[in-house]
Amino acid sequence: MKMKSVISGVSMGIAAGTVIYAISEASSREKKMLKSRTGRALRAMGDVVDGISMMMK
């Protein structure tokens, strides 16, 4: 099993759970802000996973 796959899966699961919880508790305006922040967070998480995979090579 590749470590990058495991890390990606775990991080996406955490992100998805956080988003679902936040959406269920958020107002309309907060949902719009959450969407933008989520996109930024996912891009950042992808960069982290890429960095870790580069270190393991």
**Structural domain span for residue 27:** 3-56
Residue 1 has pLDDT above 60, yes or no: no
Phi and psi at residue 27, to the nearest 5° = -85, 180
More confident residue, 6 or 22: 6
Alpha carbon distance 22, 8 (integer Å): 21
**pTM for the predicted model, two decimal places:** 0.46
The predicted structure's pLDDT at residue 31: 73
* Span 11-48, pLDDT tens digits: 888 888 887 887 777 677 777 787 788 788 888 888 88
Tell me how many domains the chain contains. Answer: 1
Alpha carbon distance 19, 3 (integer Å): 24
Residue in the structure block whose two tokens are 């270190």: 55
